[in-house]
Amino acid sequence: MLPVALISVFVAVVLLSDLRMSQTFDEGFHLAAGYRYLQCGDFGINSEHPPLVKMVAALALRVTHTPPPNAGVCGQEETTKDHGYLLGLTYLYKQGLDAQAVLFKGRAATVVFAVALLTFVFFYARNLFGYWTAIVALLLAVSEPTLIAHAALVTTDMAVSAGLMAAVFSLDVYLRRRTPLSTMLAGFGCGFALSVKHSGVIVVPIILALTIAHLLLESNDQTKRSQHSLRTAVGVAAIFLIAVGILWATYGFRFWPRPSGAPMTITLADFLIQVRAQGTTGLMPDHLIPFAAHWHLLPLAYLYGLVDVLNVSHPGLPPWILGHLLPHGVWYYFPVTFLIKSTPAFLVLLLLSKLAGGWRSPDRRRTAVFLLLPVLIWYGIAMTSGLDIGYRHVLPTVAFLAIFIAGGLTHLVNTVQRSAWKVVAAVLVLGHVASAAFAYPDYFPYSDELLGGKQNTYKYLTDSNNDWGQALYESALWLKQRGITDCWIAYDGAADLKYYGVPCRVLPGNPGDMLPIPPASASGLFIISGLSHAGVEWEPEDLQPYYGFHAAKPTDNIGGAMLVYRGTFDLRKVQAVNYIIHANNELAKNPAQALSDAQAALGITPTSVRARLAEGHAFEALGESQEAHQSFSAALVQAEQTGAAWYPAQIAEARHGLGQ
């Protein structure tokens, strides 16, 4: 009953905290896409992620008779990301639905993946160490702030965490006891990981590495090892075949993404050409994915998603780390993020388990390998990618560390004579639990209390580490409680400000916000989202519209994500990005006005590559080819001067404008 009680408390805390969270970036898109999967079988929508999690969330909407998205005829809508995000926004905020209620239904359904993860944690730890160690492992997992934060979101991170644990647990059982049933269960575990998130493909090298490690540790008898190796290799091949079958099943055993073979908005071949122009090259996009598509080895929608993920990961997005915006990912991002986002007690427990857990003894060495090798491989791949936008991308490793800590503590408590060590272990575990308790209800922005906790997370990290758009609900409540109606807000998120009743004048939170041009300076109360403050969606430092706010100290921090400032601020760079947004939106209808706006932006920020590109496109639309050529050439030169690493997409755009 104790495991059930711990998991039940975890679910209650998760759902209660979710009631205060507005939509995170991807949830609306995922819910709408999942509903369309169920309606139409159209996996071309939001192919960036496999469909399983989204269908589970959407199923909750269907069984509660929530109306579907107004998306038109099946198989005829666009499959671009821009259209998909618009579909999600329209579904939640333009169809007369209660967006918070719709979100809660989807989240309540996807919490099943968190329950699955915790269940696997308990049973795997019990299988390795016994009941009470499993309880400690479960207690550590249910008190981990980032696991709580992502447990019920309509996203894929918790599901892939459960999938990886299922894959490793079932593989461990298979390698110790090879039976048809254990082979099938291992195949299902691996297939689960593959079917919920594209990063689940990392399970393949993990399974191979663990299998090799098992064979090396199993026996010193070379003859016996060779015999076992052949049988094991056959079994692992069967596991992978079953896993691929599970993956095909989630796509309805259909190669084509869309019903009746309807085309995608962009063909896979053109998509590959596009991402290569932006610098995404290598074995996967150049050879393996085209090969798999040609021979129909994997569902085409899955392959589209792989290309998309590779394009985002390489060269990657600008990360905000330790108070600095960088042009691309850095190897130390995830180790540093782990130190910032873990509780102090968890870090000390991990060190204690490593030093005093007895892992070098022959009877525990294999267990240590199975718990730590998945962590090392996952981190190794994450550290070499450019997707440095959140601790959630290494979330699957957390549960393995919880089991490792619990196993080490058990050994320590059972072998040391001094009772003081038992007290230390108990205090540290309770300290970890206390960190989670005091973080309620804002788990997204949690960071080490020694660094100042959630109020200071924005100084070190951003995106899903502290601000993923989830704090708009709390911001509206904060304003209402204080009776504030005269304010400015820059919100970089997907939720609708009018739905939540935010009375502020709106500044652009990201390059997609088409808004009126603000004054050159303004006084009053400003709410700047953590993402907008960090500037990850803009150009380098002195071109960031909110760079001037960095020198000021926030007077408050709403939900650890929305920074409150009071005073007079220079908004000329905010004007500049507004002009660029206007120029890009007016290009088709009024290229002359687009040119005027682009040049207005250049008047304020003459080194802006994006403004120069907008000018080039406006000249092109006006038929002034020579001037367009000069603008695109100037954009290329400026990108090189500022730093080409900041502008992979813009450089490709300029070269296309030059016909290169």
Residue 282, classed as helix, strand or coil, is coil
Please report the pLDDT score of residue 542 as a whole number. Answer: 83
Token output for 317: 């997005």
CA atoms of 164 and 193, how far apart (whole Å): 5
What percent of the chain clears pLDDT 70, i.e. is strictly above it?
A: 98
**Cα distances (angstroms) measured from residue 105 to each of 58, 86, 197, 350, 492:** 9, 21, 21, 36, 24
CA atoms of 476 and 478, how far apart (whole Å): 5
Q: Which residues contact 303 (CB under 8 A, 6 or more apart)?
A: 268, 289, 292, 293
Integer-rounded Cα Rg, in Å, for the chain is 26
Strand-pair category, 488-490 with 521-529: parallel
Please report the pLDDT score of residue 581 as a whole number. Answer: 96
Of the listed ranges 213-227, 314-328, 436-450, 582-596, the one predicted with least confidence: 213-227
Q: How many CB atoms lie within 10 A of CB 416?
A: 14
Q: How many CB atoms lie within 10 A of CB 589?
A: 9
Q: pLDDT digits over 532-569, tens only?
A: 999 999 999 789 999 999 999 999 999 999 999 999 99
Please report the pLDDT score of residue 229 as a whole number. Answer: 85
CA atoms of 243 and 37, how far apart (whole Å): 21
* Dihedral sign (CA 114, 298, 276, 613): negative
Q: Quickly tell me which residue has 């440095």 as its tokens.
A: 388
User: Phi then psi for 558, rounded to 5 degrees?
Assistant: -85, 120
Q: Tell how far CA 30 is from the center of its chain.
A: 13
Give the pLDDT band (50/70/90) at residue 219: low
Kindly tell me if the per-residue pLDDT of 220 is higher than 70: no
Strand-pair category, 324-325 with 320-321: antiparallel
Kindly tell me if the per-residue pLDDT of 232 is higher than 80: yes
H-assigned helices in 143-281: 145-150, 157-176, 180-196, 203-218, 222-250, 268-277
Length of the chain: 660
CA atoms of 238 and 248, how far apart (whole Å): 15
CA atoms of 325 and 104, how far apart (whole Å): 34
Please report the pLDDT score of residue 256 as a whole number. Answer: 96
Name residue 617's amino acid: H
Q: Which residues contact 427 (CB under 8 A, 6 or more apart)?
A: none
Kindly tell me if the per-residue pLDDT of 660 is higher than 70: yes
CA atoms of 198 and 216, how far apart (whole Å): 30
Torsion, Cα 602 605 610 616, to 10 degrees, reads: 20
Give the pLDDT band (50/70/90) at residue 221: low
Q: pLDDT digits over 52-109, tens only?
A: 999 999 999 999 999 999 988 999 999 999 999 999 999 999 999 999 999 999 999 9
CA atoms of 413 and 419, how far apart (whole Å): 8
Torsion, Cα 637 655 599 86, to 10 degrees, reads: -130
Token output for 307: 């290309």
Residue of 572, 505, 581, 568 lying closest to 537 (CA atoms)? 581
The backbone region for 507, taken as left when phi is positive above 0, alpha when psi lies in -120 to 50, beta otherwise, is beta
| CA angle (38 as vertex; 37, 40 as ends), nearest 5 | 65
Token output for 598: 């682009």
Q: How many CB atoms lie within 10 A of CB 417?
A: 6
Give the pLDDT band (50/70/90) at residue 279: confident
* Contact (Cβ atoms closer than 8 angstroms) between residue 303 and residue 361: no
Q: pLDDT digits over 518-533, tens only?
A: 999 999 999 999 999 9
Residue of 259, 263, 238, 247 lying closest to 299 (CA atoms)? 247
**Cα distances (angstroms) measured from residue 421 to each of 135, 230, 360, 409, 464:** 19, 46, 20, 10, 36
Q: What average pLDDT does the chain have?
A: 95
DSSP secondary structure letters along 349-362: HHHHHHHHS-TTSH
CA atoms of 65 and 60, how far apart (whole Å): 9
Please report the pLDDT score of residue 383 as a whole number. Answer: 94
Give the pLDDT band (50/70/90) at residue 224: low
